[in-house]
Amino acid sequence: MNRCLTDLVHLLDLEPLEVNLFRGQSRDLGGKSVFGGQVISQALVAAARTVDAVLPHSLHAYFLRPGDMEAPIVYEVDRVRDGRSFTTRRVQAIQHGQPILSLIASFQREESGFEHQMPMPEVPAPETLTGQQALRERWLADEVARNPGMPERFRTAFLREQAFEFMHVNPLNPFQPEAREPRQAFWFRAAGRLPDDPLLHRCVLAYASDFNLVTTALLPYKRTWFSQDMVVASIDHALWFHRDVRVDDWLLYSMDSPSAQSVRGMTRGLIHDRSGRLVASTAQEGLMREITPRS
């Protein structure tokens, strides 16, 4: 494991405070608030800590307020239902006395039944693609040549080590965005070997599932998270686990945005493992509000 992946695993090991109460810490990934995938994955961990011997099969979450990276997050679990097949938990993530995320998760005992899936898109293998870190170094060097006054803090954040490796099928330079169809695909995997714990792999996948969804809805408009004339944020997030998964093996995340309207963009995602098995699906709506930059 690299240092960031080790840190992520530590972040997911929540501190128990009382029955149904847990506390987690945050990390600065270079944004203005806590990364949404972190709050989702920690809330899923909190829910799972109140369930015996079953794995999550779905979660649905609303982002209510930006998270403060300097303050701990308290997770309060409501044991909504314990059934013979399905178990349901509701989790509130709380900071400064207010909820920043509300999540409901469903757990299911293993059963066999009918089975089918969408095929994996045909894309180049990850070994044939250029890694995101190398691309970012190249893009940043070009941008600094054009804009020598770029703050050092931004340069450091842009090249920050990550807990995942990424190989984009059709990379997009965030400093020079071009109008594209609202669809993209990339390979990703944890930057190191993870323990053989199925729950941990699902929680780490929940963390990674928040990457690039809103970005996909922005593609037709030549905008990115770095655009100064945009307010961009996740509004809600849904994730379904279909099959067992190892997040330390290559996974293909393909996504498309079928609609944008009323300053909201909708994106869907499919996650396949390298053998072609569909292991998870996602859906997210994001805020895409154009603003007038301050002079």
Tens of pLDDT along the chain (295 residues) come to 789 999 999 999 999 999 999 999 998 776 778 999 999 999 999 999 999 989 999 999 999 999 999 999 999 999 999 999 999 999 999 999 999 999 999 999 999 999 999 999 999 999 999 999 999 999 989 888 888 877 787 777 787 889 999 999 999 998 888 999 999 999 999 999 999 999 999 999 999 999 999 999 999 999 887 778 889 999 999 999 999 999 999 999 999 999 999 999 999 999 999 999 999 999 999 999 998 766 5
Model pLDDT, residue 28: 76
Angle at which helices 198-208 and 36-48 cross, to 10°: 150
Query: Is the Cβ–Cβ distance between 100 and 67 less than 8 Å?
Result: yes
- Residues 38, 184, 257, 284: which is the catalytic one? 284
Distance from C-alpha of 252 to C-alpha of 122, rounded to nearest angstrom: 10
Write down the pTM of the prediction: 0.94
Right CATH for 3-109+130-290 from 2.60.120.560, 3.30.70.2860, 2.40.160.210, 1.10.3720.10: 2.40.160.210
- Residues 42, 184, 210, 248: which is the catalytic one? 210
217 exposure class (CB count in 10 Å sphere: 0-12, 13-18, 19+): buried
Model pLDDT, residue 295: 57
* 184 counts as catalytic: no
Q: 247: closest CA among 41, 51, 43, 101?
A: 41
* 244 counts as catalytic: no
Q: 156: closest CA among 68, 8, 28, 3?
A: 28
- Residues 184, 227, 234, 257: which is the catalytic one? 234
Query: Is the Cβ–Cβ distance between 213 and 248 less than 8 Å?
Result: no
Instruction: Please give the structure tokens belonging to residue 88.
Output: 């349901």
* 284 counts as catalytic: yes
The residues spanned by each domain of the chain are 3-109+130-290
Q: 47: closest CA among 30, 34, 61?
A: 61
